[in-house]
């Protein structure tokens, strides 16, 4: 029997980026919030301490900060005709667990989606005609870039993002990204330093007529205090960033930017090692009354709340909706239903440039330092003669060359033995990587549902992922490969090795933790699970945050946009919903 | 590039933690100053692999990463001990592996689907490979010539040699993966002895803070690498590392944040 606890104003299921933002905003406004986090408590001091935190094996290879598949994993298949099998070792994507979620071990590459991204469907039809969608079920978001701009701005100032504006209120600023949507002001912190690899990229891109700019970064570039008084240190380019936690208080995270603000109000209660198993509804099925969770001693609790925020990372969000029977399940046969609909991902096309006479010191770097071009992202270029929509941003980044995972060798090198070792030694410090981070369109047959066979440690069905690349992604990758080759040659690399992605999506190869969709936002309850305020169409006091809300994926990494949406959501909750609870759209 | 003394870094790293700060407040020496003792003896004992398995692993890893002019191979770098320690510990006993059935063969895109923990993969894989070698060459793997050992390893890698109880490709890819890990992981795990792997490629190790040097283009950054134990025990100070001032900043910020958060 679950022990029933005292009701609070709001509860967040999970305490990562979105749960942390909700906590800060609601407690500042005077409300009491309980944060339920399945993993451990952890903070910069003393958990992210040098030298232990610089342990490549423990963090990057054995995934110390990530979800433990022995407790909870996913089943996967490329196609609904196959039997989905459990991902027994998570490796293709690495959801976080513990306080701060994946916001602790992320890189900090912090983008605003392009205006086009929010209107993918209608803008494509308008410019190219409906046939151009070629089977994609991609949708408009129901919100525009202009509506979201103030919340992008708010997140960037709260998180201390470092960058160079390319478009301030419509006027183009040299050195920034000329393709970005108009922003209201400059970034709060100056851009990161430029590595040698970045310098060469900049020169090559300019030579080709592109507009290179520094990647926007949550690796904070100088001591900074955010508008709520939270303090940050400056990044030292330690090169142990992605998959690690920052020892310097410099990589923006929930612990740095928002949780201390919530704590200070005295209205925030954090409970760790509490795994939420379901959301409970009242007899009408239109209002959530509580969440059920299990603590580390196996005790079951029921936490009643006026408002419930599902902030447990996209995949876990969708699973909780499904096990709690909230919203109509998506059916790929009919294309109807909403929970599980439009699951997408990120299409990365990579390359390596090898140089015989240059030395890059690539072990120096940070998660988000890099030089990017945006000429081929979104609809920034004419797709009339291309067989895909959307695109990719192209980036040369220097994120830290830890040698277990980074030891590039030219194509044709054996995988081991004397020749392999020779080439590893020769090129370890003489190569740079380039990546085209591409969008992914939604298709009717890519979706999320509950697995009929496999269960997690709590006895709940695993989430089943059915996903494969579609024509837009595979064609995009071929095209991006041609651009990556061009840049490599413009850089005078001795060997340019670029391979477009072909074949099936492979769940064993790490290609980002940018899982997207499944509880998407929109203007029609028939085709979206939440409205433009991230409010469940079915259960009005339930808000579902995170990348689960994106109807399809942009070329950019998701966190800047999902955090902006969290600020947009809380503002509407505080200003409108709490005063007059009920559907907001 | 030599403006930063690693000595200073080691001291700062020593006092960065709460315990160090308290010690200092009590007027006791910081750990880094107190720790000028000789290096601890390396642990060299097998705890999981049987003697025939040890011989197999030592022979195989030396083919995978051989000694050459850039430095020792995997055997001399202690990678067999690394593998043994990994097998004995959490990873080898199936930590972080989803262990529920039913088990069935999947597609390559679905990944590992065996009802075996890594300890069992090695036990079965080595026995079956030795059985193959006895049949093909009349000797166990470790007694073969280098060329024949390479042939066998290629056969496992490509799947051409079929082992009875385990897909040979799976066994090989785990063996190769572990060998590379052991060659480059921090020496505290038993491999990368004397930081041989790091020295071979020029990786400076864990004392990493490069804000002052990252914009010096096309200049090799040459220092003796530093391991986790080096920093913890304050051993072997080698001026020249760029881990610096940053750590002073870190401590200042820690105090500032403690004040705001209180
Ligand atoms: C290695 C890596 C690198 C990345 N780099 C970037 C990048 O450079 N740029 C970018 O934009 N994005 C990046 N990301 C993605 C980014 O981390 C996520 O987009 C972001 O953290 C999502 O925020 P969230 O609040 O939705 O989820 P999270 O921050 O992951 O938080 C979810 C929390 O919910 C908890 N939880 C889950 N289920 C339950 C439950 N049932 N009960 C209780 N608690 C639960 C989890 O333990 C977790 O703490 C990266 C991710 C990874 C893994
Ligand atoms: S690279 Fe910078 S932001 Fe990343 S962990 Fe190191 S110091 Fe922190």
| Whole-number Å distance between alpha carbons of A570 and A264 | 19
Q: Is A298's Cβ below 8 Å from some Cβ in B?
A: no
pLDDT digits (tens, 9 = 90+) for A21-79: 999 999 999 999 999 999 999 999 999 999 999 999 999 999 999 999 999 999 999 99
Ligand 1: residues whose CB is within 6 Å?
A: A 13-19, 36-39, 94-98, 101-103, 105-109, 242-243, 275-276, 311-313, 316, 367-368, 513, 546-547, 557-560, 562
Predicted structure pTM score: 0.94
Domain boundaries of chain B, sorted by first residue? 6-200, 204-261
The residue assigned the tokens 């990372």 is A313
Tell me if ipTM is over 0.90: yes
What's the DSSP call for residue B109? G
Displacement of CA B242 from its chain's centroid (Å): 23
Coil, strand, or helix at residue A365?
Answer: strand
Catalytic residue among A211, A472, A514, A572: A514
Provide the pLDDT for residue B15: 31
Compute, in angstroms, the gap from residue A103 CA to the centroid of ligand 2.
13
| Phi, psi (rounded to 5 degrees) for A364 | -85, 135
Are residues A216 and A204 in contact, defined by beta-carbon separation less than 8 angstroms?
no
Q: What does the pLDDT average to over A12-29?
A: 98
Range of the domain at A384: 3-577
Q: Return the residue of A nearest to B233 by Cα.
A: A51
**What whole-number distance in Å separates Cα of residue B259 and Cα of residue A260?**
11
CA distance A548 to chain B (A): 23
DSSP H helices, A491-533, are none
The mean pLDDT value of chain A amounts to 98
In sequence order, the 6+-apart residues with CB closer than 8 A to the CB of B4 are B212, B239, B240, B241, B242, B243, B244, B245
- Whether A415 is catalytic is no
Q: Please tell me the distance from the alpha carbon of residue A110 to that of residue A112, in angstroms, as a whole number.
A: 7
Q: Say yes or no: A509 contacts chain B, CB-CB below 8 A.
A: no
What DSSP string describes B121-154?
HHHHHHHHHHHHHHHHHSS-GGGS-HHHHHHHHH
Per-residue pLDDT tens digits for A139-156: 999 999 999 999 999 999
Average pLDDT estimate for A292-298: 98
Q: Rounded to a whole number, what is the largest CA-CA distance in chain A?
A: 72
**What band does A123 get if pLDDT is binned at 50, 70 and 90?**
very high
Dmax (CA) of chain B: 73
Q: Which two tokens stand for residue A171?
A: 């006027």
CB B123 within 8 A of CB B174: no
User: How high is the pLDDT of residue B37?
Assistant: 58
At residue B260 the predicted structure's pLDDT band, cuts being 50, 70 and 90, is low
Residue A1's pLDDT is what? 81
Residues of A in contact with B106 (CB under 8 A): 85
Residue A584 counted as domain residue: no
Name the residue in chain A with its Cα closest to that of B213. A364
Q: Is the pLDDT of residue B7 over 90?
A: no
What is the arithmetic mean of pLDDT over A526-552?
A: 98
Sheet strands side by side (includes A447-455): A85-86, A74-77, A461-466, A447-455
Is residue A191 one of the residues assigned to a domain? yes
Q: How many domains are there within chain A?
A: 1
Instruction: Average the pLDDT over A267-286 and give the result.
Output: 98
A472 lies in a domain?
A: yes
Considering the domain boundaries, does residue A585 fall inside one? no
Q: Which residue did the predictor score with more confidence, B233 or A452?
A: A452
Whether the per-residue pLDDT at B30 is higher than 80: the answer is: no
- Has residue A112 been placed in a domain? yes
Give the span between the Cα atoms of A63 and A91, in whole angstroms: 9
């Amino acid at each position: 029997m679950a022990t029933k606890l005292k009701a609070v104003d709001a509860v967040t299921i999970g305490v990562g980026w979105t749960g942390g933002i909700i906590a800060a905003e609601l407690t500042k406004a005077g409300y009491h919030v309980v944060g339920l986090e399945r993993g451990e408590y952890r903070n910069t001091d003393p958990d992210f301490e040098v030298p232990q935190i610089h342990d490549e094996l423990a963090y990057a290879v054995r995934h110390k900060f990530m979800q433990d598949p022995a407790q909870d994993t996913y089943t996967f298949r490329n196609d609904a005709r196959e039997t989905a099998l459990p991902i027994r070792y998570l490796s293709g994507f690495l959801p976080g667990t513990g306080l701060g979620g994946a916001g602790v071990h992320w890189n900090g590459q912090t983008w605003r989606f392009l205006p086009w991204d929010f209107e993918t469907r209608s803008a494509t039809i308008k410019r190219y005609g409906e046939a151009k969608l070629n089977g994609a079920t991609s949708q408009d978001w129901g919100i525009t870039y202009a509506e979201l701009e103030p919340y992008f701005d708010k997140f960037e100032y709260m998180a201390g993002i470092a960058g160079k504006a390319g478009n301030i209120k419509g006027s183009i600023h040299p050195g920034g990204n000329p393709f970005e949507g108009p922003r209201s002001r400059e970034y709060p912190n100056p851009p990161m330093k430029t590595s040698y690899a970045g310098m060469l990229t900049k020169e090559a891109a300019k030579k080709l007529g592109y507009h290179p700019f520094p990647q926007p970064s949550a690796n904070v570039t100088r001591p900074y205090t955010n508008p709520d008084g939270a303090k940050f240190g400056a990044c030292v380019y330690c090169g142990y960033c992605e998959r690690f936690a920052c020892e310097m208080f410099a990589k923006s995270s929930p612990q740095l930017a928002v949780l201390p603000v919530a704590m200070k109000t005295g209205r925030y209660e954090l409970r760790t090692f509490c795994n939420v198993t379901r959301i409970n509804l009242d007899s009408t099925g239109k209002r959530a009354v509580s969440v059920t969770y299990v603590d580390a001693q196996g005790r079951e609790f029921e936490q009643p709340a006026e408002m419930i925020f599902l902030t447990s990372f996209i995949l876990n969000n969708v699973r909780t909706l499904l096990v709690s029977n909230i919203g109509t399940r998506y059916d790929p046969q009919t294309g109807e239903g909403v929970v599980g609909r439009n699951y997408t991902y990120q299409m990365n096309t990579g390359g390596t440039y090898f140089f015989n006479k240059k030395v890059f010191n690539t072990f120096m770097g940070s998660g988000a330092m890099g030089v990017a071009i945006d000429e081929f992202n979104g609809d920034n270029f004419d797709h009339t003669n291309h067989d895909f929509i959307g695109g990719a941003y192209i980036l040369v980044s220097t994120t830290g060359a830890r040698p277990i995972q980074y030891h590039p060798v030219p194509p044709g090198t054996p995988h081991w033995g004397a020749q392999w070792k020779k080439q590893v030694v020769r090129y370890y410090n003489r190569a740079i990587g380039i990546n085209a981070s591409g969008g992914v369109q939604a298709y009717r047959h890519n979706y999320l549902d509950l697995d009929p066979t496999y269960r997690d440690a709590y006895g709940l069905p695993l989430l089943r992922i059915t996903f494969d690349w579609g024509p837009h992604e595979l064609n995009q990758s071929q095209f991006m490969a041609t651009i990556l080759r061009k840049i490599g040659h413009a850089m005078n690399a001795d060997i340019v090795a670029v391979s477009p992605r072909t074949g099936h999506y492979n769940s064993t190869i790490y290609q980002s933790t940018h899982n997207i969709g499944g509880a998407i936002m929109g203007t029609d309850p028939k085709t979206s699970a939440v409205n433009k305020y991230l409010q469940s169409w079915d259960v009005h006091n339930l808000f579902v945050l995170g990348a689960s809300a994106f109807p399809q994926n942009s070329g950019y990494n998701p966190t800047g946009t999902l955090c902006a949406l969290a600020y947009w959501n809380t503002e509407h909750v505080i200003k409108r919903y709490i005063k007059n609870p009920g559907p907001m759209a | 590039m030599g403006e930063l003394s690693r000595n200073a870094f080691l001291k700062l790293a020593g006092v960065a933690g709460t315990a160090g700060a308290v010690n200092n407040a009590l007027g006791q020496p910081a750990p880094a100053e107190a720790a000028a003792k000789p290096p601890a003896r390396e642990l060299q004992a097998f705890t999981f692999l049987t003697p025939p398995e040890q011989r197999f692993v030592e022979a195989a890893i030396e083919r995978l990463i051989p000694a050459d002019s850039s430095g020792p191979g995997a055997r001399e770098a202690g990678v067999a001990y690394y593998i043994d320690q990994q097998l004995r510990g959490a990873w080898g006993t199936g930590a972080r592996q989803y262990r529920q059935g039913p088990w069935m063969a999947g597609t390559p895109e679905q990944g590992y689907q065996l009802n075996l923990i890594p300890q069992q993969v090695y036990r079965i894989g080595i026995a079956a490979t030795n059985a193959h070698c006895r049949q093909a060459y009349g000797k166990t793997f470790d007694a073969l010539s280098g060329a024949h050992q390479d042939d066998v390893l290629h056969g496992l890698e490509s799947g051409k040699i079929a082992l009875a109880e385990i897909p040979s490709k799976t066994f090989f890819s785990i063996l190769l993966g572990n060998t590379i890990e052991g060659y480059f992981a921090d020496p505290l795990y038993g491999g990368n002895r004397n930081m041989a792997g790091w020295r071979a490629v020029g990786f400076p190790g864990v004392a990493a803070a490069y804000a002052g040097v990252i914009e010096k283009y096309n200049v090799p950054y040459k220092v003796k690498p530093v391991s986790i134990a080096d920093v913890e025990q304050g051993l072997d100070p080698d001026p020249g590392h760029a881990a610096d001032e940053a750590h002073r900043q870190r401590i200042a910020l820690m105090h500032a944040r403690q004040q705001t958060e209180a």
